[in-house]
Amino acid sequence: MAIQSILRMGHPILRRRADPVSNPKAIEISTLIQDLHDSMAAAGGIGLAAPQIGVPLRVILYSVPGHRLTASNSVPQQDSAALGVSLGVPPTILINPELTPLTEIKLEGWEACLSVPGLMGRVPRYESLRFQALNTDGQPIDGEAHGFHARVLQHECDHLDGILYPQQMTDLRWLMFAEEAQKLNSPEVTEALKD
C-alpha cells in the first residue's frame, strides 16, 4: 500500500500531456494502479488520474456513486429494484482512454479537484460520450456514459492532457471557494464531483 501525495495546480506534470501506456500488464503499471487506488481512498475522491500522483502516463481511476447514475447508463431499472440497491460504477481503471462526444450538448455542473484544493466551479461538459480504453488485462473496453458519469470521464481525461477544470470554465465568476459555494445551499454543490 502506497499513498502518494497529490500534486497541486502549477506543478509541471499537471500541465503536460501524459504518455500512452505501451504494456498495461507491466509491473510498473500494476504498482501505479495500486497507488491510484490507495491514494484515492485516502483522499476521499471519486476519481484520480496518474499525473495527479506524479506519473505522466495515460491511466485514470474513477467511480460513480449509484445515485449519480442516470437510468440510461445504470443497470436496467427492474434489476436494480430487485436488488434493492442503486448500482453505480465501481472503482474502475481505464488505460489509454479516448473519449468521443455523442452530442454537441454541454451541461453545466459543479466540479472540484484534489489538485485544486478548496475551490469549486461550474464547468460545461458534454452530456453524453463514447469511451474506449484498455482494462488492467490489456483488453479493450468500449462503452457509453451520460450525465455525471460522462462528466467524471471528461474531468479525468483532461488531466491526461494537462488540463484542469478551471481551464474548461466559460464563466470564471462561478469559480469560488468551496466554503462560499456551500452558502448557495444547492444540493448540486454538496454532490459535486471531487477528483
Residues tagged active-site: 156
Smallest distance, Ni ion to C-beta of residue 195, A: 4
Give the residue from 115, 124, 149, 147 showing the smallest Cα distance to 45: 115
Smallest distance, Ni ion to C-beta of residue 138, A: 25
Q: Name the one range near Ni ion by CB under 5 A: 66-74, 80-88, 110-118, 140-148.
A: 110-118
Which residues fall within 8 angstroms of residue 174, CB to CB, at 6 or more apart? 121, 122
Q: Which residue number, 29 or 116, has a Cβ lying nearer to Ni ion? A: 116
Q: Which residue number, 127 or 195, has a Cβ lying nearer to Ni ion? A: 195
Smallest distance, Ni ion to C-beta of residue 111, A: 8
**Coil, helix or strand at residue 181:** helix
Which residues fall within 8 angstroms of residue 3, CB to CB, at 6 or more apart? 35, 38, 39, 42
Residues β-bridged to residue 19: 57
The residue assigned the cell 457509453 is 144
Q: Is 127 in the site for Ni ion (CB under 5 A)?
A: no
Q: Name the one range near Ni ion by CB under 5 A: 23-31, 105-113, 126-134, 138-146.
A: 105-113
Give the residue from 63, 37, 69, 51 showing the smallest Cα distance to 146: 69
Q: Is 113 in the site for Ni ion (CB under 5 A)?
A: yes
Q: Is 195 in the site for Ni ion (CB under 5 A)?
A: yes
With CB under 5 A, what is the number of residues at the site for Ni ion? Answer: 2
Q: Name the one range near Ni ion by CB under 5 A: 11-19, 83-91, 113-121, 177-185.
A: 113-121
DSSP structure class, residue 57: B
Q: Is 152 in the site for Ni ion (CB under 5 A)?
A: no
Smallest distance, Ni ion to C-beta of residue 156, A: 7
How far apart CA 160 and CA 162 sit, in angstroms, is 6
Q: Which residues bind Ni ion (CB under 5 A)?
A: 113, 195
